[in-house]
Each structure stands twice: as structure tokens, then as C-alpha cells.
Amino acid sequence: MTQFSANLGFLWADRSLPDAIRAASAAGFDAVECHWPYDTPHDDVSAALSETGLPMLGLNTVRGKPGENGLSALPGREVEARAAIDQAIAYADAVDARAIHVMAGFAQGDDARQAFEANLSYAVDRTDRVILIEPLNRHDAPGYFLQTTDQAQKIIKAVDRPNLKLMFDCYHVGRTEGDVMTRLTNLLPFIGHIQFASVPDRGPPTAGELNYKTIFAHTKALGWTAPLGAEFKPQNTNENSDWLGTFQSKT
């Protein structure tokens, strides 16, 4: 049976993070993940994880200043970028999060690539946890440095460390690149986490251009056993989890 992780950056976002963890457990999710948990004491998060038995799959480095979307590909901002990485590693260690998504930020050009690779090298040298990088689609995040899976694959090869992996978000790939199942197959050795949402509206996986029944079956056929991350924007409370039973019972 396919397992699912609730991304609490979007699901139950009206609740405190510990209460959102409890809601995800009650709804039947197998794991949780989050965006920026730093305003919540890590002891409170750890307590909720222990109470529910859910693992925390991942969290993000901070975005930076207002209007920014990460720091690690910004030339000249290395001190801030590495402080954000240190902060994320410390929080991940405290709650035993399996992975850290290092956010690149709005940048372009070779200087940005070099800065990103240097900061990623810094990250993978300071933790055994998985470090993730995620291409964001050009519609939602115009100007974001990391935009395609091919670009991400080249960076992962350049840094050349086993704990640097690709966050493959079917939503972002579907909006920008398409051919989601072929890319899943070809990129499988590089993938550290898989997320999903409907295309193009980023809603639950029951509608839109992508057939998630087929995609989830495909990930299972590839031998993927880790929980898949539900990172979509619900329009109402029921959408947080009312789709879950259908996919759990059929995939």
C-alpha cells in the first residue's frame, strides 16, 4: 500500500504545528513534513511526533528577507546561507527529521551556480541527513535559480556526495517539464523525496492534468516505498484528507 506524508506547510495550516501533526495522524497519514518550523519549540514538535509515532520527513531552510525564497544560490550571501543551513540542521537533529531542503533563492548565472554548489557542499559536510534540492516551476516562482530536473541533476553530480538528493515534486515538474513518469524513472537514483499536487491548480490529487492513480502505481512499480509528500493547497478542511482513503486502498 502506498504511504503518504502530510505537508503541514499547507495541510492543517490553521493549527499549531504540534496540533497539525496530531490531525495528520488522526486522518491516517504515515508521516509528516513541514516548511519552516522554527517559531515552534522543537520540544513541542518532538512530543507530538512521539505521541503519534509519525516520522518527520523534512523541513526547509529559511527564505531570508521578505520577498526572498532562499539564500544558498545568492552570491555574496554565504554567511547568511550557511547560518540558515546550520539552523535547519540543528532543528532537524532535535526532531529527527530525515531530510533538509536547502532553498536556492532568486538568482541566475554561473556565479549563482557556484554559490549554490559551495553552500550545498557545506551542508552535506555537516550532516549525514539527506540534503534536498527542489526545482520550482517558473509560473509560481519566476526567477528562482533551480528550475528544472536536468539542472538539479547536474548540480548533484557536481557536488558528488551521497546525501545530496533531488526533491521530485510532480506538481512543479508537471507544470514546467511534463512527462512526469518518464522523469521519475530516469531520475530515480537521484531522488530523495517525492511530492505531489494536482496540475495546474495545486489542489488535491483527485483532479487536474495528472492521473495520480497511475503515477502512484508507477512509483510503487519502481520500488519506491517511502511516503509520498502531499504538498497541495486545500480549499476547505475536508480536502486535507478526504482523498486519502481512496488512494491508500487502491495503490
Q: Are 203 and 234 in contact (CB under 8 A)?
A: yes
Q: Which of 68, 117, 231, 239 is catalytic?
A: 231
CA 180 remoteness from chain centre: 17
Rounded Cα distance between 74 and 84, Å, is 13
What are the C-alpha distances in Å from 208 to residues 36, 159, 170, 175, 201?
28, 36, 12, 11, 7
Q: Are 54 and 94 in contact (CB under 8 A)?
A: no
Q: What is the DSSP letter of 87?
A: H
Classified as helix, coil or strand, 127 is coil
Does the active-site annotation cover 239? no
Region at 67 (left for phi over 0; alpha for psi -120 to 50; beta for the rest) = left
Sign of CA dihedral 205, 207, 210, 212: positive
Buried residues in 175-185 as b, exposed as e (16+ CB within 10 A):
bbbeebbebbe
Does the active-site annotation cover 231? yes
Q: Which of 78, 80, 134, 209 is catalytic?
A: 134
Catalytic sites, residue numbers? 134, 231
